[in-house]
Amino acid sequence: MPRLGALFLLVAIFSAAVCAIVYQLLIGSVSSYFLGNSVEQFSLTIGFFLAAMGLGSWLSRFVADHLLLTRLAQLEIWLGLLGGVSVGVLYVLYGYTDHFRVGMLALSTAIGALIGLEVPLITRLLRGHGTLRAALSNVLSLDYLGALLASLLFPYILLPFLGSLHTALVAGLVNAVLGLGVVLAFKGALLEQRTFRSLGAQALVVIAALGALAWQGEELRARWESDLYEDRIVHSEQSAYQQIVLTRRDEHLRLYLNGHLQFASIDEHRYHEALVHPALALAPSRERVLIIGGGDGLTAREVLKYEEVQHVDLVDLDPAVTRLAQRNIYLTRLNDNALNRRQVRVINEDGFVFLQREHMPYGAILIDLPDPREESLAKLYSVEAYRLCRKLLSPQGVLATQASSPYHVREVYWSIAAALEEAGFAVHSYHLHVPSFGEWGFHLAGSAGLDPTVDAFAVPTRYIDRQVWSALAVFDGDMARLPVQANRLDRPVLARYYRQGMGTQF
Q: Residues with catalytic annotation?
A: 368
What SS3 state is found at 344? strand
* Phi, psi of 39, deg, nearest 5: -60, -45
Decide: is 296 part of the binding site for ligand SAM (CB under 6 A): yes
**46 vs 228, beta carbon nearer ligand SAM:** 228
Decide: is 316 part of the binding site for ligand SAM (CB under 6 A): yes
**207 vs 315, beta carbon nearer ligand SAM:** 315
What SS3 state is found at 460? coil
Report yes or no: 278 and 466 within 8 Å, Cβ to Cβ. Answer: no
**237 vs 287, beta carbon nearer ligand SAM:** 237
Q: Which of 370, 372, 441, 501 binds ligand SAM (CB under 6 A)?
A: 370
DSSP notation for 20-77: HHHHHHHHHHHHHHHH--HHHHHHHHHHHHHHHHHHHHHHGGGS-GGGHHHHHHHHHH
**259 vs 284, beta carbon nearer ligand SAM:** 259
Q: Which of 84, 88, 146, 294 binds ligand SAM (CB under 6 A)?
A: 294
Which ranges of 229-344 would DSSP assign to H, the alpha helix? Answer: 268-282, 298-303, 319-327, 329-334
Decide: is 263 part of the binding site for ligand SAM (CB under 6 A): yes
Residue 443 pairs in a beta bridge with 401, 429
- Quote the DSSP letter at residue 339: G
Nearest distance in Å: CB 453, ligand SAM: 26
Tell me the Cα Rg of the chain: 27
What residues numbered 393-412 form the site for ligand SAM, per CB under 6 A?
Answer: 402
Task: Count other C-beta atoms under 10 Å from residue 308's C-beta.
Answer: 12
What residues numbered 187-226 form the site for ligand SAM, per CB under 6 A?
Answer: none
**217 vs 293, beta carbon nearer ligand SAM:** 293
- Chain centroid to Cα 417, Å, comes to 26
Decide: is 369 part of the binding site for ligand SAM (CB under 6 A): yes
Q: Which of 183, 317, 324, 479 binds ligand SAM (CB under 6 A)?
A: 317
Nearest distance in Å: CB 499, ligand SAM: 16
Binding mask 423-452 for ligand SAM (x = CB under 6 A): ------------------------------
* Phi, psi of 233, deg, nearest 5: -80, 125
Order of strands, edge to edge, in the sheet holding 393-402?
A: 344-347, 311-315, 288-293, 362-368, 393-402, 438-446, 426-434
* Phi, psi of 120, deg, nearest 5: -65, -40
Nearest distance in Å: CB 8, ligand SAM: 45
Q: Per CB under 6 A, which region of 174-182, 286-294, 331-339, 414-422 contacts ligand SAM?
A: 286-294
Instruction: Give the whole-angstrom CA distance, residue 271 versus residue 434.
Output: 7
Decide: is 350 part of the binding site for ligand SAM (CB under 6 A): yes
Minimal CB distance residue for ligand SAM: 295
**154 vs 271, beta carbon nearer ligand SAM:** 271
Nearest distance in Å: CB 231, ligand SAM: 18
Q: Per CB under 6 A, which region of 16-24, 199-207, 369-377, 450-458 contacts ligand SAM?
A: 369-377
| Exposure of 196 in the CB half-sphere (CA atoms within 13 A) | 11
Residues with Cβ within 8 Å of residue 150, at least 6 apart in sequence:
17, 18, 19, 20, 21, 22, 25
* Phi, psi of 350, deg, nearest 5: -65, 130
Q: Which of 112, 295, 363, 441 binds ligand SAM (CB under 6 A)?
A: 295
Decide: is 84 part of the binding site for ligand SAM (CB under 6 A): no
Residue 402 pairs in a beta bridge with 442
Nearest distance in Å: CB 318, ligand SAM: 4
Decide: is 278 part of the binding site for ligand SAM (CB under 6 A): no
Instruction: Give the whole-angstrom CA distance, residue 121 versus residue 111.
Output: 16
**133 vs 462, beta carbon nearer ligand SAM:** 462
Nearest distance in Å: CB 320, ligand SAM: 8
Q: Which of 76, 302, 313, 368 binds ligand SAM (CB under 6 A)?
A: 368
Nearest distance in Å: CB 419, ligand SAM: 16
Report yes or no: 399 and 283 within 8 Å, Cβ to Cβ. Answer: no
Q: Per CB under 6 A, which region of 26-34, 125-133, 310-318, 448-456 contacts ligand SAM?
A: 310-318
Order of strands, edge to edge, in the sheet holding 243-249?
A: 232-238, 243-249, 252-257, 260-264
Task: Count other C-beta atoms under 10 Å from residue 114's C-beta.
Answer: 25
**272 vs 288, beta carbon nearer ligand SAM:** 272
**208 vs 240, beta carbon nearer ligand SAM:** 240
Q: How many residues bind ligand SAM (CB under 6 A)?
A: 22
Q: Which of 321, 417, 420, 464 binds ligand SAM (CB under 6 A)?
A: 321
Amino acid letter for position 375: E
Binding site for ligand SAM (CB under 6 A): 257, 262-263, 292-296, 315-318, 321, 350-351, 368-371, 377, 380, 402
